[in-house]
Amino acid sequence: MFAVNSLLVVLSTESAGLPDALRQALGGAVDFSALGRATPRTLRSQAEALGSREIVVFMPQPVEELLDALAAGCGVLPCPLSLVSGPLAPDLHEKLAALGVNAWMAVESLDARSLDALLGRARARWARESALRTELDALRTRFDERKWIDRAKGLLMSARGIGEDEAFGLLRGAAMHANLRLGEVSRSVIEASRWADAINRAGQLRMLSQRLVRLAAQALAGIDAKRARVLRTQSTERVQDNFVHLASLELDEAGAQGLGHARAAWNALEAALAARMSPQAMAEIDVRAEALLLAAEVLTGALETSGARRALRIVNICGRQRMRAQRLAKDALLAATLSASASRERLAPIMGEFEAALLELDQAPLSSPEIRAALASARDEWLRLVRGVREIDSAEGRAALVRSSDALVETFDQLTASYEHSLQVLMS
């Protein structure tokens, strides 16, 4: 006797009665009132809902609806499936087998003994195919993990300057500590690196928005105008390269929306920079740069949230210091050359923010001799930048301001990269 609903019978329509040939073949082996029934359209949902252990499709002429239903499952069914039908063309036999039909018999041969044999063949073939699928899935998983492990090892070796054995030891130790598969940890390392790089690049947009205004103001004031033009070209190329890279990532909705707003803000700033330089043009450039700064800040925050790793915050904090150095230099130049009162009022708050962030970086647990040396160098250069701000009314002060702001960008570029590749960020 079949258990309740263990056998699912699939007929052409919902109103079709149980065929006499199938009823006689089942005989006393099943309680017909408890028999599970379905049509091709409801085959899979009924099998899963009823917990069926076997499926028998009774169709003298298999219809396209059956082929479509089987194709939707990509040839994988939750239990063995047998087909009872009229004669089939050889190509249809192959198609049905590929779609998950485990056994077939002619309707005119149907009786209790042949049905029992049919179901037995279907069970045996389904079990064999299930075992092969499980083995194939395991092989694919191991192969996929091997690729992630090799990539993670290469990343650690490059970022930390260590050998292959040491890199593998770090991954294995992290996997044991977190009770995760080695492949899962390796994939996490790659993803952490990807998010850290994305945050770094989005953070560069903040800095570049302010740097481009500073360079425009520098050129307008005649302060090393030739170098200002070269740096403006380089900065523009850097902005465009970062947008191309960020657009290549699989961002979530917030990240994609933030990237779109940042790109629109950049287009407006780029148009303003193309205008003939004048005090009025400078004011427009500054407004457009502020819009890009705000959009890049939103984008960077969205990427940090998407990364879902607390250690990524330090990359964002460090990267923001580049922007502050450029913003301070820009506002000091605008205040001195254009008597921009709003720029002058921002000087003290920006200096306070820079100092607070520098203190936070000094106290952060993510440290190394390389990072500590770079932080000490940044503090020295910061003091020179502040001195340049205070002496902005002199040519020497303005020249020192420009030099120190550029030096700080280079220093914090290196520091951001160091945090980005630190073990705490990669292994977080």
Q: What is the percent of the chain with per-residue pLDDT over 90, rounded to a whole number?
A: 44
User: Per-residue pLDDT averaged across 143-167, rounded?
Assistant: 85
pTM of the entire predicted model: 0.66
Q: Which of 136-145, 192-201, 378-387 has the lowest mean pLDDT?
A: 136-145
Q: Are 318 and 419 in contact (CB under 8 A)?
A: yes
- Identify which has the larger pLDDT, 44 or 258: 258
Residue 152, pLDDT above cutoff 50:
yes
The reported pLDDT for the residue numbered 28 is: 57
Give the residue-averaged pLDDT of 364-378. Answer: 85
Q: Is the pLDDT of residue 88 over 90?
A: no
Examine the pLDDT at 379 and tell me if it is beyond 60: yes
Q: Which tokens sit at 384?
A: 């020179």
What pLDDT was estimated at residue 21? 85
Tell me the mean pLDDT in the region 269-298.
94
Lowest mean pLDDT among 54-58, 156-160, 329-333, 377-381: 156-160
How many CB atoms neighbour CB 340 within 10 A? 20
Q: Is the CB of residue 335 less than 8 Å from the CB of residue 213?
A: no
Q: For 130-157, what is the mean pLDDT?
A: 86
What would the two tokens of residue 77 be?
């069914």
Least confident of 31-35, 51-55, 77-81: 31-35
Q: Sort 15 into a burial class: Cβ within 10 Å, 0-12 / 13-18 / 19+.
A: exposed
Show me where the domains of the chain are located: 7-133, 182-426
Residue-level pLDDT at 34: 58
| pLDDT of the residue at 293 | 96
Q: Mean pLDDT, the chain, as a whole number? A: 87
> Binning pLDDT at 50, 70 and 90, where does residue 179 land?
confident
- Compute the average pLDDT of residues 289-311: 87
pLDDT of residue 89: 86
SS3 per residue for 294-355: HHHHHHHHHHHHHHCCCCHHHHHHHHHHHHHHHHHHHHHHHHHHCCCHHHHHHHHHHHHHHH
Query: Residues 6 or more apart from 408 whose CB is under 8 A from it?
Result: 321, 322, 325, 378, 381, 382, 385
Distances (CA, A) of 175 to 166, 170, 185: 14, 9, 6
pLDDT tier for residue 71 given thresholds of 50, 70 and 90? confident
Higher pLDDT, 170 or 269: 269
pLDDT at 424: 64
Please give the C-alpha separations between residue 357 and each of 24, 50, 136, 361, 405, in angstroms, as whole numbers: 83, 61, 52, 6, 16
- Tell me how far apart the alpha carbons of residues 78 and 57 are, in angstroms, rounded to a whole number: 15
Report residue 203's pLDDT band, with 50, 70 and 90 as the boundaries.
very high
Is the confidence at residue 7, as pLDDT, over 60? yes
Phi, psi of 9, deg, nearest 5:
-100, 125
**Which pLDDT band, with edges at 50, 70 and 90, does 241 fall under?**
very high
| pLDDT value of position 151 | 87
Rounded Cα distance, 298 and 193, in Å: 20
Helix (H) or strand (E) holding 253: helix 253-273
Q: Estimate to the nearest angstrom the gap between the alpha carbon of 391 and the chain centroid.
A: 47
Question: Which of 268 and 88 is assigned the larger pLDDT?
Answer: 268
Q: Which of 10-24, 92-106, 117-131 has the lowest mean pLDDT?
A: 10-24
Spatial neighbors of 230 by CB under 8 A, at least 6 apart, are none
In this predicted model, what pLDDT tens digit does every residue of 320-358 receive, in sequence order?
999 999 999 999 999 988 887 888 899 999 999 999 999
Number of neighbours of residue 335 by Cβ within 10 angstroms: 21
- The confidence band for 125, taking pLDDT boundaries of 50, 70 and 90, is very high
Q: Considering the domain 7-133, what is its CATH architecture?
A: 3-Layer(aba) Sandwich (3.40)
